[in-house]
Amino acid sequence: MNDGPARKADAGQPGDAARPAREPTLERIVEQYKVLVETSAAFAASAALDETLQLITRLVAQRLDVAWCDLYDYDPETDEFVVTASFQLPGLQADTTSWIGTRYDAENWPELRDCVAERRPAILYRDDPDLPAEQAALMDEWGELSNISVPLVYNDELTGLIAIGESRAQRRWTEDDVRVVQAIADQAGIAIANARAYARLAEQAITDELTGLSNYRHFMEHLRREVARARRYGQDLSVLVIDLDGFDLFIQSFGRERGDAALVEVADILREVTRGQVDVVARYAGDQFLVILPQTRAHDPAPPTASMVAERVREAIAAHRFKSVGEDRDIAMSASVGVAGVGLGGYSAEELLRCADKAAYLAKRGGKDRVVVFGA
């Protein structure tokens, strides 16, 4: 693992600048070509971003026979390197899983920063007599003997940094090694860019563009799975339909831009009062929101119940103040909330949603700013 600045050096042993470059043998060229073909095919076959990142580090370490391979993002806003993936050959002692997400100040890694800024490889040897003491100490800490870092670039846009290294024996990086690593880095840059684009498209397919909540399609797919699970295992399941009161008047008074901002704030409120890793919150249409509450009964004297969650939603929205004009937060808004549960509101996703929507309608007809449980 490279935990410090990489030092630029000539390919080969320090002090060998005058030595002629070795002519690659036909066998070596064929082997390099096989590595490039294999890694290119593997990168092209992977679509998920996390899977692609881990695949890159594993293949590079195994095919180039190096002790480890790390991938970094570079964040220009904070001037930091962020570890996104790491792989080491079996038998090494370091726990690479703890490094994922770690951020390093680029100011402490001047050669890596230059590697990124100048789009060039950076090479480091532990036995380099000019190696700074701080870098030598870091290499000793991780048991590193040599490493090389190469920027990942796609369409002239920096997508990250790839670093490989050796801790089993001193390895001199030849010009052939640098060319192969650079070629793999070029492939990896394309694979990462494609995976990120795929991830964005996949996220857009299930996400409401304005609020960032799930969209209706994703909500219904999830609800059908939850209904099937609840019926199979005899579990509770409830749905909320949240309908903002007087939102059309709010739009007429303050405009669509303020209305959109209010919907974003309502979405944030729903995230806060629901279970982030359990419940599913979605925007239905206009000013309607939906919530799936797994393993939660619709209505019962003993908590927790969906009706209690619905009350928390209603109270939180009523207590919030929205902007009218300028920066003034002087507008109160309320919500009518309908609740339906498996059995009490039907036995299919469509029946549950339909019954919760009816309950929300009854709440609005009954005076607004209230919760109604279907069938209770």
DSSP state string for 128-168: -TT--HHHHHHHHHHT-SEEEEEEEEETTEEEEEEEEEESS
The percent of residues above 70 in pLDDT, for the chain, comes to: 84
> In 10 A of CB 184, how many CB atoms?
26
The percent of residues above 90 in pLDDT, for the chain, comes to: 38
pLDDT of residue 373: 95
Cα separation, 214 vs 69, in Å, equals 36
Higher pLDDT, 90 or 312: 312
Span of 11-15, 265-269, 371-375 with lowest mean pLDDT: 11-15
- The yes-or-no verdict on residue 36 having pLDDT over 90 is no
User: How high does pLDDT run on average in the chain?
Assistant: 83
Main-chain dihedrals φ then ψ at residue 336, nearest 5 degrees? -100, 130
- The yes-or-no verdict on residue 361 having pLDDT over 90 is yes
Cα separation, 349 vs 219, in Å, equals 10
Higher pLDDT, 319 or 9: 319
pLDDT of residue 37: 65
192, 160 contact by CB (below 8 A): yes
Going from the C-alpha of 117 to that of each of 110, 244, 289, 362, the distances in angstroms are 10, 50, 46, 62
Main-chain dihedrals φ then ψ at residue 74, nearest 5 degrees? -115, 125
Q: Kindly state the average pLDDT of the residues 126-143.
A: 83
pLDDT of residue 228: 92
Global pTM exceeds 0.75? no
- The yes-or-no verdict on residue 13 having pLDDT over 80 is no
Cα separation, 232 vs 246, in Å, equals 40
Q: In the chain, list all ranges with CATH 3.30.70.270.
A: 216-373
Q: In the chain, list all ranges with CATH 3.30.450.40.
A: 26-204
pLDDT of residue 106: 82
Q: Kindly state the average pLDDT of the residues 221-235.
A: 92
pLDDT of residue 30: 59
Span of 191-195, 215-219, 359-363 with lowest mean pLDDT: 191-195
- The yes-or-no verdict on residue 94 having pLDDT over 70 is no
Q: Kindly state the average pLDDT of the residues 305-309.
A: 94
- The yes-or-no verdict on residue 362 having pLDDT over 80 is yes
* Angle ∠(162,168,174) on CA atoms, nearest 5: 55
Provide the CATH number for the domain formed by 26-204 in this structure.
3.30.450.40
Going from the C-alpha of 70 to that of each of 54, 81, 87, the distances in angstroms are 9, 11, 6
Span of 32-46, 76-90, 118-132 with lowest mean pLDDT: 32-46
- The yes-or-no verdict on residue 167 having pLDDT over 50 is yes
125, 131 contact by CB (below 8 A): yes
pLDDT of residue 5: 38
Token couple for 203? 């996220």
Q: Kindly state the average pLDDT of the residues 308-334.
A: 93
Q: Does domain 216-373 have CATH number 3.40.50.300?
A: no
pLDDT of residue 35: 66
Going from the C-alpha of 36 to that of each of 42, 148, 181, 192, 193, the distances in angstroms are 10, 18, 9, 16, 18
**What three-state secondary structure class fits 323?**
strand
Residues 6 or more apart whose CB falls under 8 angstroms from that of 315 comprise: none
224, 294 contact by CB (below 8 A): no
- The yes-or-no verdict on residue 375 having pLDDT over 70 is yes
Closest CA relative to residue 290, chosen from 231, 335, 346: 335
163, 190 contact by CB (below 8 A): no
Helix%, strand%, coil% for the chain, nearest 5:
45, 25, 30
Higher pLDDT, 188 or 279: 279
pLDDT of residue 57: 85
Closest CA relative to residue 207, chosen from 282, 311, 130: 282
pLDDT confidence band for 258 (50 / 70 / 90)? very high
Q: Kindly state the average pLDDT of the residues 52-65.
A: 82
Higher pLDDT, 347 or 44: 347
Span of 40-54, 135-149, 270-284, 347-361 with lowest mean pLDDT: 40-54
Cα separation, 134 vs 6, in Å, equals 12
- The yes-or-no verdict on residue 164 having pLDDT over 70 is yes
Residues 6 or more apart whose CB falls under 8 angstroms from that of 154 comprise: 189, 190, 192, 193
Q: Which single residue is written with the structure tokens 């001037």?
A: 79
Cα separation, 311 vs 367, in Å, equals 15
Higher pLDDT, 54 or 301: 54
Dihedral angle at the C-alpha atoms of 169, 62, 86, 202, nearest 10 degrees? 170
- The yes-or-no verdict on residue 350 having pLDDT over 90 is yes
